[in-house]
């Protein structure tokens, strides 16, 4: 029987509170040790839970296929890690294991190996057994890498000034099995949504939807992403009470997006126990849990780490500011459209399809509508060319840099925890570098003509060697004789 992954609702005490976690089921039943491990780490994100479960599923499948070949857990795990990189299909196209794995990318394989360290250590402690991936004395090279990682982590830590700077003993240790190095990637021009396509995307892409309610809803999300750099997932956490008139932009909107769990509840609400968080508000008022804690298509993550206020919200900063005015005009239309469906939640964006009318809008539905909007203007989804939802955040960052906004203001506008975080959003792209260098080259030629400098080219471009005529000569085909 194959290993099956499902979402389960687990009750651990008499309160009846359910925890949604991914579980694995084999022919012997639920993998209970994984359930215990996930519950012990319930404070970690659902995406982390899914990653642990996925990696564990692969390990269990490999153990089942290779159960008669390994006697030591360490050797088993080492070979498992190798098969993640190489796959299980041989050069002859055969795979006696029946797993059918193709080689995974280094990034994916490293993620599986890394995230299994905690679970395998947990199992070793639980059953007093040898760990699959033990700590060993690191080589001098590994100690240098560990020290570099330790130093970078502490020097970039927001609270690093109040922490001990003593070098951890872990610097002198390394895992027996480590991931392989991944290729470094330069910043690319193609990750930002093309500015020249925005008007068409707004007017005819999302604006071309058959249902005007859907058009306005998606246009609002588009404006938040392109005009304020908001992540697509963060937009889904917006409540109706989070939009007000902007005190500094006439006719504009002041939009605050609160943390889905720790954000302050609206209208000075206070729960039965005095709690003021949005998680408590959802539980007591609607019987719901925050979308960041859900599983499956109902889950919406939250990536922003730096908030703007003690009430745990981020305030959108519009650039140019007229995006704020456009948003408010559409928002007033959107509020009227919301009255056409029945809602049992505070979220601002909902679905209008009959089967799910009034339910919170999902990321899956947004991405599908985004793809259809691009199709209406003759384009397709392409992350490598910036035509994706996240490409708008990159466009926002680049727009700020081109306007010569100071880096500290950009960091605040994009809600980055450090200046390092925003480099990939504000770095010049390939096209911009090429255009800049071409213009600089023209200025260089002008200086050379005026005699102010000596051109690095002079006239030697006109004295290129003549191409060889007889390409079939023995000297060309087999190499000239050495002199």
Do the domain assignments include residue 417?
A: yes
Q: Is the peptide bond before 92 cis (omega within 30 degrees of 0)?
A: no
> For residue 206, which phi and psi values (nearest 5 degrees)?
-65, -35
d(Cα 224, Cα 241) in Å, to the nearest integer?
Answer: 16
Are the C-beta atoms of residues 238 and 256 closer than 8 Å to each other? Answer: no
Domain that holds residue 158: 136-184
**Structural domain contains residue 452:** no
Q: Tell whether 101 and 151 lie within a shared domain.
A: no
- Cβ distance 457 to 449 under 8 Å? no
CB atoms within 10 A of CB 12: 12
Contact criterion met (CB below 8 Å) for 216 and 337: yes
106 and 152 co-located in one domain? no
* Same domain (yes/no): 249, 380: yes
Distance of alpha carbon 347 from alpha carbon 58, whole angstroms: 37
- Domain final residue pick, 133, 155, 174: 133
Buried b (16+ CB within 10 A) or exposed e, 63-91: ebbbeeebeebbebbeebbebbbeebeee
Q: pTM for the full model?
A: 0.63
Per-residue pLDDT at 80: 85
Counted residue by residue, the chain has a size of 483
Q: Report CA 217 to chain centroid distance, whole Å.
A: 23
Is 480 domain-assigned?
no
Judgement on whether residues 365 and 258 belong to the same structural domain of the protein = yes
144 domain residue, yes or no: yes
Q: Indicate if 26 and 105 belong to the same structural domain.
A: yes
Q: Are residues 313 and 408 in the same domain?
A: yes
Q: Facing residues of 264 across strands? A: 277
pLDDT at 63: 82
CATH of the domain at 415: 1.10.443.10
Q: In this structure, is residue 431 part of a structural domain?
A: no
Residue 433 lies in a domain: no
pLDDT for the residue 473: 59
* Helix, strand or coil, per DSSP, at residue 209: coil
**Tally of domains within the chain:** 3
Do residues 146 and 8 both lie within one domain?
no
- Judgement on whether residues 359 and 228 belong to the same structural domain of the protein: yes
- Classify residue 233 by burial, with Cβ atoms within 10 Å: 0-12, 13-18, 19+: buried
Give me the sign of the Cα torsion angle 171, 174, 175, 178. positive
For residue 204, the 8-state DSSP code is: I
The verdict on 56 and 157 lying in the same domain is no
Residue 110 in 3-state DSSP?
helix
User: 470 lies in a domain?
Assistant: no
* CB distance 339 to 240 below 8 Å: no
In whole angstroms, how far apart are CA 146 and each of 73, 139, 162, 255? 25, 10, 22, 42
* Whether 404 and 422 share a structural domain: yes
Residues 178 and 194 in one domain: no
Residues 282 and 413 in one domain: yes
Q: Is 386:193 a contact under the CB 8 Å cutoff?
A: yes
Backbone angles phi, psi at 102, to 5 degrees: -100, 160
Planar angle of CA 165, 169, 174, nearest 5 degrees: 125
Answer whether residue 335 is part of any domain. Answer: yes
pLDDT per residue as tens, the chain (483 positions): 578 888 888 887 777 777 788 888 888 788 888 888 888 887 778 888 889 999 988 988 888 888 767 667 777 778 888 888 888 888 888 888 888 888 888 888 888 888 888 887 887 777 666 665 554 455 444 444 444 444 434 544 444 444 454 545 544 555 555 555 555 554 444 489 999 999 999 999 999 999 999 999 999 999 999 999 999 999 999 999 999 999 999 999 999 999 999 999 999 999 988 999 999 999 999 999 999 988 788 889 898 878 889 999 999 999 999 999 999 999 999 999 999 999 999 999 999 999 999 999 999 999 999 999 999 999 999 988 999 999 999 999 989 888 888 888 888 888 887 666 556 565 555 565 556 656 666 676 677 677 765 555 555 445 555 555 565 655 545 555 444
């Amino acid at each position: 029987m194959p290993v099956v992954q499902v979402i389960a609702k687990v009750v651990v005490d008499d309160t009846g509170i359910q925890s949604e976690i991914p579980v694995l089921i084999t022919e012997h039943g639920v993998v209970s040790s994984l359930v215990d491990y996930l519950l012990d780490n319930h404070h970690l994100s659902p995406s982390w839970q899914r990653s642990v479960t996925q990696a564990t599923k692969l390990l269990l499948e490999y153990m089942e296929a290779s159960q008669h070949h390994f006697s030591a857990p360490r050797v088993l795990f080492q070979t498992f890690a190798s098969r993640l990189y190489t796959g299980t299909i041989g050069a002859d196209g055969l795979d006696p294991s029946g797993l059918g794995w193709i080689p995974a990318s280094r990034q994916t394989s490293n993620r599986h190996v890394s995230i299994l360290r905690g679970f395998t250590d947990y199992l070793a402690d639980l059953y007093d057994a040898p760990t699959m991936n033990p700590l060993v004395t690191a080589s001098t090279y590994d100690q240098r890498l560990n020290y570099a990682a330790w130093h970078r982590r502490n020097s970039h830590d927001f609270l690093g000034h109040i922490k001990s700077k003593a070098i951890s003993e872990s610097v002198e240790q390394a895992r027996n099995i480590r991931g392989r190095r991944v290729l470094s990637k330069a910043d690319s021009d193609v990750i930002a949504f093309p500015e020249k396509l925005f008007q068409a995307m707004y007017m005819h892409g999302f604006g071309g939807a058959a249902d005007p309610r859907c058009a306005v809803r998606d246009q609002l999300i588009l404006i938040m992403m392109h005009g304020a750099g908001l992540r697509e997932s963060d937009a889904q956490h917006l409540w109706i009470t989070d939009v007000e008139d902007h005190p500094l932009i006439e006719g504009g909107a002041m939009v605050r997006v609160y943390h889905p769990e720790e954000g302050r509840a609206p209208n000075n609400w206070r729960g039965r126990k005095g709690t003021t968080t949005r998680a408590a508000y959802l539980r007591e008022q609607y019987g719901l849990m925050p979308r960041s804690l859900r599983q499956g298509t109902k889950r919406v993550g939250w990536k922003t780490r730096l908030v703007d206020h003690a009430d745990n919200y981020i305030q959108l900063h519009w650039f140019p500011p007229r995006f704020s005015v456009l948003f408010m005009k559409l928002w007033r239309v959107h509020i009227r459209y919301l009255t056409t469906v029945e809602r049992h939640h505070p979220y601002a964006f909902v679905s209008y399809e009959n089967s799910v009318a009034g339910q919170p809008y999902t990321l899956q539905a947004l991405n599908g509508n985004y793809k259809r909007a691009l199709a209406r203007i003759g384009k397709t989804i392409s992350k490598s060319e910036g035509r994706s939802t996240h490409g708008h955040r990159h466009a926002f960052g680049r727009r700020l840099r081109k306007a010569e906004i100071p880096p500290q203001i950009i960091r605040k506008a994009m809600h980055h925890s450090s200046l390092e975080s925003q480099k990939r959003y504000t770095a010049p792209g390939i096209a911009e570098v090429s255009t800049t260098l071409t213009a600089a080259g023209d200025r260089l030629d002008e200086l050379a003509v005026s005699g102010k400098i000596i051109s690095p080219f002079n006239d030697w471009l006109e004295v290129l060697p003549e191409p060889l005529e007889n390409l079939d000569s023995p000297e060309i085909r087999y190499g000239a004789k050495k002199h």
